Structure 1
């Protein structure tokens, strides 16, 4: 065997199931979820772009989150759908490297964005009179850009150290090129890589999660100081959607990448990866839309405009 892995031209992905009937059922299910993901996120981007009432820092971050979710889903799901209908589930070496890099970069960027959005909610609730001054356009763009850059730098580092390892075989027990699944192919000790995965997890997961906890600690304290029930309800309503998404996104990742390795099976890792690739990008825009009166109002406003145009024609 050669001293490095560059001789491999492709990898074989075992996927989620070897049963043909199950694969067809999964194809139909995930195709429907993928279409909902793309349409819902594009619709949210469209509404934020058209309605002036949504030109606020909160919706700016939400539009960036929707863009990241679209890209994240596209980095994995189309290939997975093709493989459901393929007898041989292969992926070229270069595509595997790109897929791992993209999924890690976009996933990391999303966690950093959730942290930035928590800070935005903290300023909105705790410093409402200075909100527009603090959360000015330059700061919002800088925070969003910083989240994306941090995600891509972390991903580049992790991708390089993963694919520098000599690999014994090219069969990946996963439906995508995922870090832990690729590391299992290594012919050498991966202790250093696991330490780097833990460090990466701390930077990408624990730090944003800590920012979220600190922000919401101040938010809860501020809400409890509000005397009127209506005022408390309104203040909490501005944070409810974001808090729901935060709990959903951070929870499974902490158990996967920061929990003990023996406590998590390969199949459970697949389910968690499936959640972030398919379920979370679909639920995020739905949670923010269905729980948000401004977004619903913007949606009906756009529908009324289209109806007026049709009547004129």
Structure 2
């Protein structure tokens, strides 16, 4: 196991270098830059040239990449021209808010969807299965922005039981548990939107995986031995059925930090999603490259976590 982990971590280095080259070239070859998009039109040409020299935008692309990569090696992701501070500071300010919302949605989605998927598979074509199949299809098909606007209309505007947007009550000075309750109240609407979609996806994956597993020969053998149905399902079938679910969990790790762009924008949640939209509009490429490199790293780490979890769930899998 240790040698496997060391080898996989060493493989991350050239992979990240290749990803960084692709990300840099995509943004470097895009038309415009932060200087031309955000500067005062009355600024002198000398000042514009000075700023471009400071950001190395007057240099060839490979020189720009050298300075950017050199900064990353030293822990410097560059300066955000839009937010007037370092990229690390911007990410530090906004990513925790997205992480809080996404992690809560992920935990709720898994806790709700996996048991429902298991029961739906064991009771295929029953009323329970039909109801939650329709529920899952609605959750998957309904656009998040439309569902979010409906919740705002009925719960925030008409009934006024929940706040419309934001993360905290404006002008409030809550501390401790009162602050937690206030943030929870603001989180309920965007959390409902994200959880509905995730429950549908997780439930369908769990159901499909369980249906495939419970038709295997070893499951029929376990039943023929006289084992209780709960033992057959939750001890023998569930471990193998969880392998596709673990794969999804691994791919969900980057989503915890990337933010839900539409949902966060609709509910004015101060997460990294709207920040990336502002960065795109403002040609703030250093910020975009920093967030995309973080997501690339998390994607690779998520794959590694999924591979390790395979071995923990299925004893037939050995990591060498």
Q: TM-score, normalised by structure 1?
A: 0.29
